[in-house]
């Protein structure tokens, strides 16, 4: 049986590469974009495999319609890739209300809503793969990207919790966390908050760095797409998958810094227990709870 993929943001960037790789591998693909006419190259090359669909990931109505149309055409959804999103740079206090809402609706609420729409079908199948395209910015904070990274940190937490909910149903969840890849994320897709004074050495530096063309990504989106296609067939996929040497190095450094900070402040952490507290994690109920959380 040929697997059915549902991919958001298929028209450009990493989503374009994933769609191309999935179709080339012989899968059937519901490819979505705000403007499905941008998917013409795929419809011409893979007319029998592709279902181009209009989808604004902030529209619950369009989400429900797109999922229903995919089920009507292919009968199932085996792999969901929540890829659609965009970046924004600026000081946290400087973003407009609309910019904040747009980031959270597109990069966090949209993937959650699409996942919730697809899950009933995967639950009935007792199988499925869900790939949330996050960012290394969902693991490491960067000045100027606070709202974008708030959404990506949230997406990572959603993915990790969800993975433990649905694994007994035969559904695997992976949060893919790329570093810099050669897409238009930092150029044409990037937007900016109004400039406010006082942040010249932090947010201002990042803004100039991006606008000045100094950011030269190491990552190849086609190689990332191939890794994601291979991931969909792996028997034991990871819950978190970092992509890119740059991102891997950044995460290793950040993990060491967090560990050092945690250990430095551990006496304060432990000092807040109640005087008559017992170690809940050593009780039978606590051990069962820890197993559910994956920290046994």
Verify that 236 and 252 share a domain, yes or no.
Answer: no
- How many domains are contained in the chain? 2
What does the pLDDT read at residue 210? 84
- Last residue of some domain: 198, 213, 243? 243
The verdict on whether 152 is a catalytic residue reads yes
Which one of 3, 10, 17, 148 is the catalytic residue? 148
- Together in a domain, 36 and 97: yes
> Could you say which of 3, 10, 17, 134 is catalytic?
134
Same domain, 41 and 84: yes
- pLDDT tens, the chain, 296 aa long: 799 999 999 999 999 999 999 999 999 999 999 999 999 999 999 999 999 999 999 999 999 999 999 999 999 999 999 999 999 999 999 999 999 999 999 999 999 999 999 999 999 999 999 999 999 999 999 999 999 999 999 999 999 999 999 999 999 999 999 988 887 665 677 889 999 999 999 999 999 888 887 777 788 999 999 999 999 999 999 999 999 999 999 999 999 999 999 999 999 999 999 999 888 778 877 677 667 766 55
Same domain as 258, residue 144: no
Residues 200 and 154 in one domain: yes
Q: Supply the CATH number for residue 219's domain.
A: 3.40.50.720
Spell out the residues 6+ positions from residue 169 whose beta carbon is closer than 8 angstroms to its own: 122, 123, 126
What does 83-136 look like in DSSP terms, one character per residue?
-----EES-TTTS-HHHHHHHHIIIIIHHHHHHHHHHHHHHHHT-EEEEEE--G
By CB atoms closer than 10 A (0-12, 13-18, 19+), residue 1 is: exposed
Domain boundary among 243, 258, 275: 243
236 plus 263 within the same structural domain: no
Q: Are residues 132 and 268 in the same domain?
A: no
Instruction: Tell me what pLDDT residue 283 has.
Output: 82
Residues 26 and 154 in one domain: yes
Whether 265 and 278 share a structural domain = yes
Q: What is the pTM of this model?
A: 0.91
Same domain, 176 and 276: no
- Domain span at residue 139? 4-243
Predicted local distance difference test score (pLDDT) of residue 296: 53
pLDDT of residue 185: 64
HSE-up of residue 236 (Cα within 13 Å, Cβ side): 0
Based on the domain organization, do 225 and 203 belong to the same domain? Answer: yes
Q: Which of 3, 10, 109, 152 is catalytic?
A: 152
């Amino acid at each position: 049986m040929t697997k059915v993929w549902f991919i958001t943001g298929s028209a450009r960037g990493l989503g374009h590469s994933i769609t191309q790789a999935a179709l080339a591998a012989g899968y059937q693909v519901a490819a979505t974009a705000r403007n499905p006419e941008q998917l013409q190259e795929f419809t011409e090359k893979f007319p029998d495999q592709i279902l181009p669909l209009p989808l604004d990931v902030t529209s619950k109505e369009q989400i429900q319609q797109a999922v229903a149309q995919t089920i009507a055409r292919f009968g199932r959804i085996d792999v969901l890739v929540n890829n659609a999103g965009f970046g924004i740079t600026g000081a946290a206090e400087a973003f407009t209300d609309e910019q904040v809402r747009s980031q959270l609706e597109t990069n966090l609420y949209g993937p959650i809503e699409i996942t919730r729409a697809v899950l009933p079908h995967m639950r009935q199948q007792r199988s499925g793969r869900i790939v949330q395209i996050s960012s290394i910015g969902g693991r490491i904070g960067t000045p100027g990207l606070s709202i974008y990274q708030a959404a990506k940190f949230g997406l990572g937490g959603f993915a990790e919790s969800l993975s433990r909910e649905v694994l007994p149903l035969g559904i695997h969840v992976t949060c893919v966390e790329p570093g810099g890849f050669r897409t238009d994320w930092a150029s044409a897709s990037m937007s900016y908050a109004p400039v406010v004074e006082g942040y010249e050495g932090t947010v201002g530096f990042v803004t100039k760095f991006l606008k000045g063309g100094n950011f030269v990504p190491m990552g190849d989106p086609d190689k990332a797409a191939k890794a994601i296609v291979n991931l969909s067939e792996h028997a034991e996929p990871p819950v978190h998958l970092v992509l890119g040497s740059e991102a891997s190095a950044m995460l290793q450094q950040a993990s060491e810094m967090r560990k050092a900070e945690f250990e430095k402040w551990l006496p304060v952490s432990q000092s807040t227990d109640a005087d008559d507290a017992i170690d809940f994690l050593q009780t039978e109920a606590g051990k069962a709870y820890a197993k559910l959380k994956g920290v046994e």
